[in-house]
Amino acid sequence: MTALSPSSGPTTGGNTVTITGTNLTGATQVLFGPTPATILTNTPTQITVTAPPGTGTVNVTVTTPAGTSNSVPYTYAAVPAPTITSLSPTNGPTTGGNTVTITGTNLTGATQVLFGPTPATILTNTPTQITVTAPAGPPSVVNVTVTTAGGISNPLSYIYVAAPIVIGVSPQFGPDTGGNSVTITGSNLALASAVNFGPNPATGLTVISDNQLTATAPPGTGTVVVTVTTPGGTSTLGPGNPYYTYLGAPVINTLIPDTGSSLGGDSVTINGANLTYTDSVTFGGTPASFSVLSDTLAVATAPAHAAGTVGVQLHTPAGNSNTLPFTYDPA
């Protein structure tokens, strides 16, 4: 034998030691002092073993059918147990795959990091910090522990968060300039960190409960999907109606006719734009009955009004239109 790597280890044993030398084929026994090690691999120039427990400095020897080798010293040293003080982040998606940083002491040589019963993939390892890729897990709270040659650390809690679901938005329409408050309903919304209307982030996010939040719609166009992001991920299309439609402000271009009897009852054709979602028509503030025929055409029945000129105005979820004059003639 020519070398051991490492040449020291914990008194509890259990660490892997690589033995380098020549004529090592067919090793039948590796002794650490008087105690046999478990042989893992064996080639003519290298053997790996699991070190047995022990104390002090002992001689390591290899026995093959050709005899027993020279000895090389191996030192047992007390290895302090690992301690973990924080996780960042402390929660993540049930699908796993996110990077978690574990901070603590005596973390050198970590052999395993468990999230509950499931091992994580170790990415980096220093005496005070380990980064891992979190494994998948069901929605739950699990204990994270680190195993080194010094033993198993204390546990810290990590929360698997279910992905958010958006079932509906109210109102489902709003002005293309944004700025209106929208209520979003669904599930797993309590830890929401962002809301998007299509590609555009909303502002004014307020979580009301795990099933409801409000946000201020950003500017936009067309019909978009509203999504919510939490540590559990970003919501995807599923059951419900997570769509929001941006509307241009209604515009009135002409009134035909633009005069009528103060007794009311005249049919008035309104030509304009963005009229599809009209929800009220007023003549001088007085509501009129109406029908929308297209995005550019509506017909209203003028209500009774005192003689004079009043403003006619439309309203949609995008806001109020401009006003055009309508003159009431004396009865």
Whether residues 187 and 200 fall in one domain: yes
End-of-domain residue from the set 161, 191, 207:
161
Least confident of 72-81, 83-92, 267-276: 72-81
pLDDT of 239 reads 81
Question: For the residues of 153-174, what is the DSSP string, one character each?
Answer: PPPEEEEEEPPPEEEEEESSEE
Whether residues 268 and 243 fall in one domain: no
End-of-domain residue from the set 138, 161, 184:
161
Beta strands in 15-135 (DSSP E): 16-20, 29-32, 35-36, 38-42, 46-50, 57-64, 67-68, 72-77, 83-88, 91-93, 99-105, 112-115, 118-119, 121-125, 129-133
Whether residues 171 and 149 fall in one domain: no
Whether residues 138 and 206 fall in one domain: no
Whether residues 61 and 107 fall in one domain: no
pLDDT for 20-62, tens place per residue? 999 999 999 999 999 999 999 999 999 999 999 999 999 999 9
At residue 74 the predicted structure's pLDDT band, cuts being 50, 70 and 90, is very high
End-of-domain residue from the set 146, 161, 176:
161
pLDDT for 91-116, tens place per residue? 999 999 999 999 999 999 898 999 99
Whether residues 185 and 208 fall in one domain: yes
Whether residues 26 and 99 fall in one domain: no
Domain that holds residue 255: 251-329
Whether residues 243 and 255 fall in one domain: no
pLDDT for 191-244, tens place per residue? 999 999 999 999 999 999 999 999 999 999 999 999 999 999 999 887 889 999
CA angle 102, 105, 106 (to 5 degrees): 110
Tokens matching residue 14: 């259990």
Whether residues 72 and 14 fall in one domain: yes
pLDDT of 15 reads 84
Whether residues 242 and 174 fall in one domain: yes
Q: What percent of the chain has pLDDT over 70?
A: 100
CATH number for the domain harbouring residue 17? 2.60.40.10
User: What's the rounded Cα separation, in Å, for the pair 234 and 287?
Assistant: 43
Q: Count how many domains the chain has.
A: 4
Whether residues 67 and 136 fall in one domain: no
Whether residues 69 and 133 fall in one domain: no
pLDDT beyond 90 at 72: yes
User: What's the rounded Cα separation, in Å, for the pair 49 and 294?
Assistant: 82
